Amino acid sequence: MLPTALPGLLNEFEGMQVKLIERQVRIPVAPSHHSLISHIQKTIDVTLGDTVLPVRFVITGVTGVEYNCELGTLEGMEVEKTRGLNSIFSFSPRKVERTDTFNAVFLVPTGIGAEIGGHAGDATPAARVIATACDTLVTHPNVVNASDLNEMPENALYVEGSSITQLLMGTAGLQRVRANRVLVLIDAHETEVFVNDTVNAVSAARATYGFDCVKVVKLDPPLRMTSCFTDSGRAAGEIEGLYRVCTVLDEHDGEFDAVAIASVVDVPDEYHKEYFRRDGKMVNPWGGVEAMLTHSLSLLYGLPTAHSPMLESQAVADFDLGLVEPRLAAEAVSFTFLQCMLKGLHRSPRIISHPEALGEAGIFTASDVSCLVIPDKCVGLPTLAALEQGIPVIAVRENDNLMQNDLEVLPWAKGQLHVVENYWEAVGVMTSLKAGIVPGTLRRPLDVTTVETRTFASATINDV
């Protein structure tokens, strides 16, 4: 069932100018970068007002006096429609760290041009190796989605990015499931063959691994998703027609556990050729606006959500891409890009947000997270949550990206931040943490043992 605050939440969207857009925000630097989450929330609340709902946040760089931020927002909603929803900046500190298992969160933020994980599921090898060093790996679609392929590890939980943020912020937990009932929404495409291919992909999932599709619903007119690039170079975009998606979800309340959406993302035709011919040097233009959509729906409905793009036209389908860079190949050989998200949503965990339910047995919470693995220079809410929760963070330099942050200036506890060269080294640090060994003690020379002398005044009768 939908959360109690949400039935009919968006039934009146038609006629309202509701949009998902990306904003540039500058926030004054906090003293010594302390209490960043509350500092950012206060500034954003004042800046945006009550009619704008933040759905996605990142710090792209820091000057001497400001944090340069980019914020995905849902705009045009009436205030009473969003009451009862947790803000993405809501934070609840964990009271304990459970140590009976060792569990990692592995993120590669969407749309930042990451060398590893910036294209079609090309961070999957890293995910599979990281998974061998932990009991449970929590990761998100951008890491393992590869069009018709999804080779996520058996011990992985496939969780949409905003839900991972809530997990680390302490406001949501995860409950493993045997299988989900998935509602599939697709564009009523003007080219019928693309609709048929998409439905056939759903049917193939039903026939080969018992995928439970509640229904395929065609949206007519279709959802309008337009890609763009921000000032930092990140992929983002704008979305119109969200009320049509939400109307369908409201109408089928209680009938499904997860949502899969396939729709066209409008990009200039030349982007298709440029993306494939620049050997992975162009930021994937589709992923950013997809993340804005799934973040919004997961936040509004508290359900696992994923998106895959539909081809825009037969002309795009007929492009001769030739031999492409290996990281792009999964996209070059697919017509529907759908199977990866269907496989992920098949067993994506249930999102638990009721405070009393978070303490139930079997609910995976921030207390169960042993470390966070990210590309170096990435500062979003997951990184800030880990900082304040005391969760060790492993930042990988080799996974270069567009972000311009120095993680080492943040107020980490001693031994909390580990900056490593590559994912091989990241796995070594994870193994050391799991074994209870300070990673630096594996290197030579060892630091000198610190000896501090504490001098007291001469003893008096009062000391006896």
pLDDT of 5-61, one tens digit each? 333 444 444 445 678 999 999 999 999 999 999 999 999 999 887 778 999 999 999
pLDDT of residue 5: 33
Share of the chain above pLDDT 90, in %: 84
In the structure encoding, which two tokens stand for residue 191, read together? 């080219």
Distance between CA atoms of residues 91 and 384, nearest Å: 10
**Residues with Cβ < 8 Å from 404, sequence gap 6 or more?**
60, 61, 62, 68, 232, 377
Beta bridge partners of 228: 236
CA-nearest of 410, 436, 163, 132 to 395 is: 410
278: amino acid identity, one letter: R
Residue at token pair 């035709």:
269
**What is the H or E stretch that residue 139 is in?**
strand 136-139
Q: What does each C-alpha distance from 162 to 23, 140, 292, 301, 389 come to in angstroms?
A: 18, 9, 9, 12, 17
pLDDT of residue 82: 63
pLDDT at 2 over 50: no
Beta bridge partners of 305: 259
* Helices 192-209 and 339-346, packing angle to 10 deg: 40
Give DSSP secondary structure letters for 299-345.
Answer: HHH-S-EEEEEEP--HHHHT----S--GGGHHHHT-SS--HHHHHHH
Q: Rounded mean pLDDT of the chain?
A: 92
In the structure encoding, which two tokens stand for residue 75, read together? 């705009």
Distance of alpha carbon 384 from the chain centroid: 14
pTM score, whole prediction: 0.94
pLDDT at 80 over 80: no
Beta strand residue intervals within 196-247, DSSP E: 212-219, 224-229, 235-240
The model's pLDDT over 426-462, given as tens digits with 9 standing for 90+, comes to 999 999 999 999 999 999 999 999 999 999 987 665 6
Distance between CA atoms of residues 352 and 3, nearest Å: 10
Q: What does each C-alpha distance from 417 to 81, 130, 396, 420, 449 come to in angstroms?
A: 40, 17, 11, 10, 21
What would the mean pLDDT of 135-145 be, rounded to a whole number?
Answer: 98
pLDDT of residue 441: 95
What would the mean pLDDT of 240-250 be, rounded to a whole number?
Answer: 93
